[in-house]
Structure 1
Amino acid sequence: MKRRGLIKLASAVTVMTLGGVGYAAHRRSSNPYYRGPVSDHFDGTRFFSPNQPQDKDLAELARWQLGGGREDWPARWPSPFPPDAPPDRVAGLRVVHIGHASLLIQVAGRNILIDPVYAKRASPVGFAGPKRAQPPGIAFEALPPIDAVLVTHNHYDHLDGPTLARLWAEHQPRFVAPLGNDAIIRSYDDTAAVETRDWGGSVDLGDGLTVHLTPAYHWSARGVNDRRMALWCAFVLTTPHGTLYHVGDTGYGDGAIFTQVRERFGPIRLATLPIGAYEPRWFMQAQHMNPEEAVRAAGVIGAEQALGHHWGTFRLTNEGIERPVEALAAAIEAAGLPPERFLTLRPGQVWQPAHPSNG
């Protein structure tokens, strides 16, 4: 019973952290986050990615959890970069990796956080679930004034409620998130100002910056009964210093979402793409790209520069902690690209354009 109980707990935490598992027959329930008209990706209760695989079932989850093949991770894996102390404002473009999928983008005098997670665990509970292997690359107290916070979706490794509440209390930023996530964010502070949009929607941040919500092949969940009841997205940020594209989580799928970004926005100045949490492929392929697919996506969108995130901080899947870097290097070489075109980021690492005057 004890072992079965631990497996049950581990499976539940995995479901809520990654959101990659649902039920073959969903339990009937109303949507607690969003009510709106039926669309090509919303059936009136749940969101979905058209023409893409949706939920795994519990048997597939058990097959993964009990199937072995998980490489060991070190308990601690400190970044070689010291914690960054960002300036209050940057006239050009400066990007800092905080850890996992958390980034600080400083552009055109504005400070934008994406998926800020400062929790010790990416989990709904404090005593179990993926534990941080390296500290944040910017101490919370060292953050510059935050103007906007972009949240791609509601999984615990991307939406850290206590961190968002603290940001609201100390910085009063504008929160931008896909449909339904306002209810989740406000559950941590009901005074928070959250602007939600559907895929294709935009929010003007001022000073020539606009954030656009675009599709991603992923899922959402905070518990076991709210599968796909809040929307997920990627972000395109149009700025005076070029167009930026950020993906929190996505599968590659048929590649259409990347083609659509290129067609709508033109070549991308900087793409920040996930490269981790991809093994085993039979389970993860629909929701998480591997490094080879990330390189392919960067090519489709015409990225001048790509940066890899979503690796090395929280152990979510089977691959070892350095496997994404190794696989990315092999994929770059196979594509005939110079290594500097697609860099991996560690917490505290800063990226800026080689020629700031050109953005």
Structure 2
Amino acid sequence: MAVPSLDLAWHYVAGGEEREPREPFPIERPVPAELAPGRGEALRVTWLGHSTTLLEIDGRLILTDPVLGPRASPVSWMGPKRFHPAPIEPEQLPPLDAILVSHDHYDHLDFPTILRLAARDTIWITALGVGAHLEAWGVRPERIVELDWWGSTEVAGLEVTATPARHFQGRGPHSSSMTHWASWALRGPRHSVWFSGDTGRWDEGFAEIGERFGGFDLSLVEIGAWHPAWGQIHLGPENALRVHHQVRAKTLMPVHWGTFNLALHAWDQPICHLLDLAEATGVQLLSPMMGVTSHRESGVAEFWRRRRTHLLGPGALAPA
């Protein structure tokens, strides 16, 4: 049942959750040279915070939803502030085959970060209408590829397909109908990844993705900035597991958490709840520390396991 908006507003003001870390938590600062792709046909991933990841798929490098600035906000002086410095500066990233932007919300499309990446000789892949933002910020139009759902493009032998998602768009009152959003399927010669972007639960849509592509080696699925009343636009831990199974992925890596205060839950509630669920169901989970490059099929950083003691209970904020 949806929570009335007045109740949500009161919860926002009076709730006692630890929505931001009281003390800084450790992050790793990757060595830029070590982020360059290897010669092998590998699958590696580096979580850079929120939904920003550096993916190596069979020697191709893809950056997802680049947000490396200090705020997820239209202005620099207010709005959700990053819990910690970004693990890397945009200029330190290695040459990229593609930059993927799922949609145009401020926590996925960051103006300061785009400005610092715009001059790169790389392909930008995004949903319909979002390219106008990129072009206005200095990305050359011939380097922008916009895709509708089920549309595909190929970059350096990597097939990128826009797949369905249930969300919304816009960066202000006058832009709400001008852009689209998507989840994304990335398939190399040997490995494949599905990236949820932002989405709510949509059983038929995600089951079709699994049927069409026959599964993925890795799913990057949003788990944070959620509430039971927001099920049409965000997943949360339980529905993230559901979607992971529906798209037929082998390993689940949670994203969209641990970086900004965008909801009413404790900052670590999503990962703590997901760890409990994964342990109970046997899901193969990959959740390294921020900035760590992982090529393993599973593994959870000990720091996140210790945070489970802060969860009030496995049912906290669970959908009814």
TM-score for both structures, normalised by structure 2: 0.84
Q: Which amino acid aligns with 1:160?
A: D
Residues 223, 268 of structure 1: CA spacing in aligned structure 2 closer, same or farther, 3 A cutoff? same
Residues 274, 354 of structure 1: CA spacing in aligned structure 2 closer, same or farther, 3 A cutoff? closer
Q: What is the deviation of 1:163?
A: 1.5
Q: Is residue 2:24 matched to residue 1:77?
A: yes
CA contact (8 A) 2:57 2:188 kept: yes
CA contact (8 A) 1:70 1:319 kept: no
Distance 1:178 1:354 in 2: 29
Structure 2 residue aligned with 1:164? 114
Structure 2 residue aligned with 1:3? none
CA contact (8 A) 2:151 2:161 kept: yes
CA contact (8 A) 2:63 2:99 kept: yes
How many residues were matched structurally?
290
Q: Is residue 2:94 matched to residue 1:147?
A: no
Structure 2 residue aligned with 1:346? 289
Distance 2:173 2:164 in 1: 23
SS in 2 for 1:222: coil
CA contact (8 A) 1:135 1:347 kept: no
Q: Is residue 2:122 matched to residue 1:173?
A: yes
SS in 2 for 1:118: coil
Distance 1:249 1:84 in 2: 29
Q: Is residue 2:153 matched to residue 1:221?
A: no
Distance 2:98 2:129 in 1: 18
Q: Is residue 2:270 matched to residue 1:324?
A: yes
Aligned match for 1:113, one of 33, 40, 63: 63
Distance 1:78 1:84 in 2: 19
Distance 1:353 1:345 in 2: 10
Q: What is the deviation of 1:109?
A: 2.2
Distance 2:28 2:93 in 1: 17
**Alpha-carbon deviations, 1:287-320, whole Å to 9, x = none?**
1101011111112222111100111101100111
Aligned match for 1:299, one of 245, 251, 262: 245
Distance 2:297 2:207 in 1: 27
Structure 2 residue aligned with 1:8? none
Q: What is the deviation of 1:80?
A: 4.3
Q: Which amino acid aligns with 1:257?
A: G
CA contact (8 A) 1:133 1:313 kept: yes
Larger Rg: 1
Structure 2 residue aligned with 1:67? 11
CA contact (8 A) 2:153 2:159 kept: yes
CA contact (8 A) 1:112 1:150 kept: yes
Q: Which amino acid aligns with 2:58?
A: A
SS in 2 for 1:195: strand
Q: What is the deviation of 1:108?
A: 2.3
Q: What is the deviation of 1:83?
A: 3.4
Structure 1 residue aligned with 2:205? 257
Q: Which amino acid aligns with 1:66?
A: W
Q: What is the deviation of 1:139?
A: 3.1
Residues 216, 343 of structure 1: CA spacing in aligned structure 2 closer, same or farther, 3 A cutoff? same
SS in 2 for 1:304: strand
Aligned match for 1:276, one of 224, 229, 237: 224
Distance 1:60 1:155 in 2: 24
Question: Which stretches of structure 1, 4 residues or longer, exceed 6 Å deviation after superposition?
Answer: none
Distance 1:314 1:145 in 2: 27
Structure 2 residue aligned with 1:244? 193
- Give the 5 Å matches for 1:9-48: none
Q: Which amino acid aligns with 2:181?
A: W
Residues 178, 354 of structure 1: CA spacing in aligned structure 2 closer, same or farther, 3 A cutoff? closer
Structure 2 residue aligned with 1:234? 183
TM-score for both structures, normalised by structure 1: 0.75
Residues 63, 264 of structure 1: CA spacing in aligned structure 2 closer, same or farther, 3 A cutoff? same
CA contact (8 A) 1:308 1:345 kept: no
Which runs of no fewer than 5 residues in structure 2 stay unpaired?
Answer: 299-320
Residues 329, 182 of structure 1: CA spacing in aligned structure 2 closer, same or farther, 3 A cutoff? same
Residues 96, 185 of structure 1: CA spacing in aligned structure 2 closer, same or farther, 3 A cutoff? same
Identity of aligned residues (%): 34
Aligned match for 1:195, one of 130, 141, 145: 145
**Alpha-carbon deviations, 1:318-343, whole Å to 9, x = none?**
111111111102211332x05xx123
CA contact (8 A) 1:112 1:147 kept: yes
Structure 2 residue aligned with 1:53? none
Structure 2 residue aligned with 1:286? 232
Distance 1:76 1:316 in 2: 18
SS in 1 for 2:118: helix
SS in 2 for 1:99: coil
Q: What is the deviation of 1:346?
A: 3.3
**Alpha-carbon deviations, 1:138-185, whole Å to 9, x = none?**
33232111121000000000001232232121x221001110001111
